[in-house]
Amino acid sequence: MLESTAEKTSNRLTISLDGIWEVEEGNSREEVPATFAHQVHVPGLLSAAEPPFADVGKFSSVEGQYNRQLLSFLTDGTSSPEIDEAAKNSKAGGVSYQDREYFWYRRSFTAPSARDHATLSVLKAQFGSEIWVNGVKVGKREACFTAGSYDLSEVIRWGEQNELLVRVGAHPGVLPAGGPRTYDFEKEFWHPGIWDNVELHCFDGPSIRSVQVAPRLTPREVVIETVVENLEGSPAVVSLEHRVLTVDMNESLGDFRETLHLDPYERTIHRCTIPVPDARLWSPSSPTLYVLESTTSGDSTLTRFGVREFRFDTPTKRAYLNGKPIFLRGSALALHRFFEDPMCGSLPWNEDWVRKLLGDGPKKMNWNVLKFTIGPVPRKWLDIADELGIMVNYEFPIWTLHPELFFGYRKEHDRAVVKQEMGDWVKENSNHPSIIWWASSLETVAPWLGKEIIPEVRKLDLSGRAWGDSLNPPPGPDDPTEAHPYEFSSNGNAQTPNFDMISLENRGAFEGPHLGSAPSGHASIVGEYGWLWLTREGDPTLLTQPIYPTLPYPTATAEQRIKTACYLLAGLTEYWRSYRHHAGVLFYGYLASSRLGGYTSDYFADIERLQLHADFEDYVGESFKPLGVYLNFWQRTLQVGTQRTIDVMLCNDEAEIKEGNLRLTLEGSNGQIELAEERFLLGSLGQHTIRFNVTLPAKPGTYTLQASATAADGSSTVSRRWLTLQEESVQPSAIVDAQLGQAFELS
């Protein structure tokens, strides 16, 4: 499990309270259960308690019911799940179908020898948390995904046993209306729990409340913001010291000292700059980390950070890492959907599993970025991302779509609460170099976010990261926009004809409709696409049940459906990358929930071992290689012996020039048939198209058309198309009108 031991810097003692806690259910906010008959691990979810509680997580949300109503409309009744009218009309966000309102956690701990102060940090607990120590209530927090800090100085028993109680909500309905929580139209289970670390901090004053480190590249330096507080009723003279150290703490790169004079109970924000000319830059290929040690006479903290700069640029519509253009390739990861997966258990808190998920998987799939979507992640996930060099687009969990889309659905937010919570979220996560840009929401039309919230909370991030604002216009001059071109979402819906990949052949430079996003000339991210989800066993989800019968590809068996989904997803990836319209291409999704009655899923064959389906690694892995190849050909049937012009588009995501050979072949049961070959030369981060005029073989049969690019440095990529050659005359398949790209954009 992700546990830490007691850690002492020069002055502060931090004690982990993770581990096995007692837990019990109840309906009172104040009355503590008489007995505690269950146990659960912290951090974790209460769905993993032993012995188990009945019906944990059963909550029918307002959003879920509106989505069921829309699903029936989208699929002309093909998928028509029952609508819970009571939940749809609820003023509390939904209806709970479990016999409790709260869960109570309990554990004891031995406090160390006396210090002046003690604080308790509960990093994340849902749904809300309230704290008692030795029978005294010390505070509460309604937030689900930012930390609560509680002053225990007056109630802790130094050197003795102490009792700690944490009460959490059993479901979202116990939270005040209008506050942010993990909104999700497609979740069925809402599992509660203390799902991040719990820590006890013991120190003497004055206190270091927080530290933010913001790197600068020119000149190479770090700007440090320290919040220092005098916790006593008399003036204090504070000697504040900072040292920048290598991550092993064996070498110093720079330091700073200053004496501060604080009035009684004064809290001050102090800024300084330390030059670090010898610091190495953080990047996916070299994720170098450093530590800032900050001390006062009675307190100290360690802050890990990386020296790097990431930005978007509107004139070039590109992303830049450390001053150099970079093309983003990756996927979206929905941890809170995985929470309801039958196989979830304790996996998200198993460090080996998380390291493999964030490291081995993206490396195998040629990704350099992940979007953490529809809910935040434990702090340890971001620590691991920092260490592994995976870049992160971090998304705040608001998802409301278009106000008109759900025929009466409205979500009223308490904007003051959203602003406070989003600000806390930014401040808590700003030191992670892996986070390269923020997102205010997912698929949400809410102009007030860009006008009222983002301008204020972005000031809290001294690194000046960019902000995405989903379906609203970009809030800043160099902020990106995000598109979710779910081409296949129209399939199976009689309101519009089916999308056909053949339409991609004639699009040329056409990027497709805005799909609900505000029109923009800013840097663009393709943040989701596909709409081809299958369960891990190969069964269609609620969203894709009407689609697979419409596909002109093999889909009769689970194995065929998985292969077809991977084949088409790879083709879309190649397409979105090849024209160079977008700074990044990220598909949904890498991690989700696979269950009967679910809306989406992922592509794992074995989630415990994190083994992806072989076809996914093969087809989609090829489509994300830095040397990109797109066979602009989607005809499924051609006549033998005829001539054909075939375009192959190449792109190079690396700074080095790529040159080599591009071969066009047909692979059939009788072996390989060479059609054409040509040299290619790709400039740094460049793109080129090679046109082949070929004569098709005279022998009918089923083939795979392959465009294989092999560079002089040994790297190679293949793009494949399934093709049948027939003897009789074949009319080329009709080009589907471009308007068919106008699909609903649901996750």
Q: What angle do CA 206, 212, 217 make, to 5 degrees?
A: 140
Q: Which residues pair with 245 in a beta bridge?
A: 252, 291
pTM (2 d.p.): 0.94
pLDDT at 514 over 60: no
Cα–Cα distance, 455 to 62 (Å, whole number):
30
Model pLDDT for residues 520-543, shown as the tens digit of each residue:
899 999 999 999 999 999 999 999
Counting residues of the chain whose pLDDT is more than 70, the rounded percentage is 94
* Segments in 32-133 forming alpha helices (H): 62-74, 85-88
At 742 the pLDDT is 30
Residue 184 tokens, joined: 């999700």
- Count of CB atoms situated within 10 Å of the CB of 559: 12
CA gyration radius, the chain: 28
Indicate the helix (H) or strand (E) that contains 321: strand 318-321
**Which one is predicted more confidently, 495 or 136?**
136
At 508 the pLDDT is 66
At 730 the pLDDT is 62
- Could you write out the DSSP letters of every residue in 573-621? HHHHHHT---SEEEEEEEE----TT-S----EEETTTTEE-HHIIIIIH
Mean of all residue pLDDT scores within the chain: 92
Residue 271 tokens, joined: 């800024």
State mean pLDDT over 393-420: 87
Cα–Cα distance, 358 to 356 (Å, whole number):
6
Beta strands 687-695; 643-652: pairing state: antiparallel
| List of residues 6+ apart from 137 with CB closer than 8 A | 130, 131
Least confident interval from 51-60, 67-76, 386-395, 560-569? 67-76
Region for residue 231 given its phi and psi (left: phi exceeds 0; alpha: psi -120 to 50; beta: otherwise): alpha
At 513 the pLDDT is 47
**Which one is predicted more confidently, 103 or 406?**
103
- Cα 148 from chain centroid? 23
Cα–Cα distance, 160 to 110 (Å, whole number):
5
Tell me the C-alpha to C-alpha distance, in Å, between residue 318 and each of 119, 218, 367, 509, 580.
44, 20, 17, 17, 10
**Which one is predicted more confidently, 355 or 729?**
355
Model pLDDT for residues 675-686, shown as the tens digit of each residue:
999 999 999 999
State mean pLDDT over 376-405: 93
Evaluate whether 628 touches 670 at the Cβ level (below 8 Å): no
- Count of CB atoms situated within 10 Å of the CB of 689: 13
Query: What residue type is 176 in one-letter code?
Result: P
Region for residue 611 given its phi and psi (left: phi exceeds 0; alpha: psi -120 to 50; beta: otherwise): beta
Evaluate whether 505 touches 633 at the Cβ level (below 8 Å): yes
φ/ψ of residue 19, rounded to 5: 130, -155
At 539 the pLDDT is 96
pLDDT at 200 over 80: yes
At 312 the pLDDT is 98
Helix and strand element counts for the chain (H, E): 12, 47
pLDDT at 171 over 70: yes
* CA-based nearest residue to 271, from 284, 286, 258, 262: 258
Beta strands 658-668; 671-682: pairing state: antiparallel
Beta strands 300-305; 290-295: pairing state: antiparallel
Tell me the C-alpha to C-alpha distance, in Å, between residue 457 and each of 43, 285, 460, 466.
28, 31, 5, 12
Cα–Cα distance, 519 to 522 (Å, whole number):
9
**Which one is predicted more confidently, 355 or 11?**
355
Model pLDDT for residues 92-112, shown as the tens digit of each residue:
899 999 999 999 999 999 999
Evaluate whether 62 touches 75 at the Cβ level (below 8 Å): no
The label of the residue with tokens 């010898």 reads 278
Model pLDDT for residues 217-250, shown as the tens digit of each residue:
999 999 999 999 999 999 999 999 999 999 999 9
Q: 193 falls in which pLDDT band (50, 70, 90)?
A: very high
pLDDT at 320 over 90: yes
Model pLDDT for residues 146-160, shown as the tens digit of each residue:
999 999 999 999 999
pLDDT at 735 over 60: no
pLDDT at 3 over 70: no
Cα–Cα distance, 102 to 173 (Å, whole number):
11
Residue 21 tokens, joined: 């806690």
pLDDT at 516 over 70: no
Counting residues of the chain whose pLDDT is more than 90, the rounded percentage is 84
pLDDT at 129 over 70: yes
